[in-house]
Amino acid sequence: MDEVQQLREAVKRLTQENQELRERLTVAESTIKQLVELLGQNSRNSHWPASRDKSRQKTKPKSLRAKTARKVGGQEGHKGHTLEFNPQPDVIERHRPAHCQHCHTALADAIAASGMSRGQVFDLPPLRFVTIEHQAETVVCPCCGEATTGEFPAEVSHPVQYGSQVKRLAVYLRTEQFVPYERERQLLADLFELPISAGSIQNFVETAAANVQPVTEAIKAAVTAAEVAHTDETGFYVNGQRAWLHTVSTPELTYYQPHAKRGQKATEAMGILPHFTGTLVHDAWARAMQKPRSQATTREKTHGVGLAKTSSTILLPFIWGSTFLCFGPSSGTSFLF
């Protein structure tokens, strides 16, 4: 009786283990099936883009430049460019021998040099900020005895502050070279020993943006009134959030405006295309075709899209505007600060 009971318990235990194994096998088969389906996905049977296809043959871009008999590289007769002597050096350092290298006789300073060779080095001056102290003097009039105090320049509004050159450089590095705030803070500290915070740099950028607002509005008005213009948009990120940078350009001017949307809402917020009555060159994206005032011809639209798909080296049948506000110290943008 005890042996039969033991056998029954063993059968029951084995039956339960068998059921558990069957359940685990079912789950494993389901997982394997999902993994196999995932490995077999491509752009034809899923929403994946073609760029993720493992078997995709990436075509090399083909140059549209006609082949010639010329060799690769610099051509014969091409004038090279190299450093040239500066006729007016900023600093001259003379290196005079103290003794004759033959008989070791001392060479006095009174002995005139019989010859000279030159070598110039282009270098940077010491990179450190300078402190300019403005002092407003008070003078008592010898006639009436009243005191009159001189006035500080308009840009000197605080007891201690950063100068316009520092602000221009900070804005240039941020807006033209796209240096992140923290890295720019470190750069200014390492190169110039300037203790500028990221918040101060942000304030400089905001002030510069406000100062160039009249220029921005003038560009917007000129682009809106142009006979021919080109519009496009590209994706980028603002504070980690997906956004779109919209442009409308002419051969001389380009107007930029970021927006969270890509379509009609962004177009209406930008305020150019709804009032544009000239010929508009675009890539046939819906936002540029919703307004009946858009006069882009079919040739311009389809030709531009076709070129964009075949080769990245071909320009659209319209010259993109290349003029943009430059905040560099050498650009003469004294209106920034």
290 and 230 together in one domain: yes
- The answer to whether residue 258 sits within a structural domain is yes
201 and 287 together in one domain: no
286 and 253 together in one domain: yes
Based on the structure, what is the number of domains in the chain?
Answer: 2
- The answer to whether residue 61 sits within a structural domain is no
pLDDT tens digits, 84-132: 999 999 999 999 999 999 999 999 989 999 999 999 999 998 889 999 9
- The answer to whether residue 274 sits within a structural domain is yes
Look-up of token digits 């050498």: 330
Closest CA to 324 of 247, 238, 254, 229: 254
> What is the extent of the structural domain holding 217?
213-310
248 and 270 together in one domain: yes
- The answer to whether residue 321 sits within a structural domain is no
70 or 224: which leads in pLDDT: 224
- The answer to whether residue 128 sits within a structural domain is no
The pLDDT of residue 5 is 83
- The answer to whether residue 14 sits within a structural domain is no
- The answer to whether 306 touches 133, Cβ cutoff 8 Å, is no
Helix (H, G, I), strand (E, B) or coil at 133: coil
217 and 227 together in one domain: yes
Closest CA to 301 of 281, 319, 321, 286: 281
221 and 203 together in one domain: no
Phi first, then psi: what are they for 148, rounded to 5°?
-130, 130
Runs of H (alpha helix) within 124-260: 164-175, 181-192, 198-211, 213-224
Dihedral angle computed from the Cα positions of residues 84, 85, 86 and 91, in that order, rounded to the nearest 10 degrees = 130
The pLDDT of residue 207 is 93
230 and 206 together in one domain: no
- The answer to whether residue 132 sits within a structural domain is no
228 and 198 together in one domain: no
Question: Which residues fall within 8 angstroms of residue 319, CB to CB, at 6 or more apart?
Answer: 251
247 and 273 together in one domain: yes
pTM for the model? 0.60
Secondary structure element (H or E) that encloses residue 280, with its range: strand 279-281
- The answer to whether 254 touches 320, Cβ cutoff 8 Å, is yes
The pLDDT of residue 289 is 58
- The answer to whether 105 touches 99, Cβ cutoff 8 Å, is yes
Q: How many Å apart are CA 76 and CA 28, to the nearest integer?
A: 70
- The answer to whether residue 220 sits within a structural domain is yes
pLDDT band with cut points at 50, 70 and 90 for residue 330? very low
Look-up of token digits 């010639």: 68
- The answer to whether 91 touches 58, Cβ cutoff 8 Å, is no
The pLDDT of residue 47 is 72
The pLDDT of residue 102 is 92
219 and 302 together in one domain: yes
234 and 267 together in one domain: yes
- For residue 141 the two structure tokens come to 């009039």
pLDDT tens digits, 91-101: 999 999 999 99
203 and 246 together in one domain: no
Number of other residues whose CB lies within 10 A of the CB of residue 191? 13
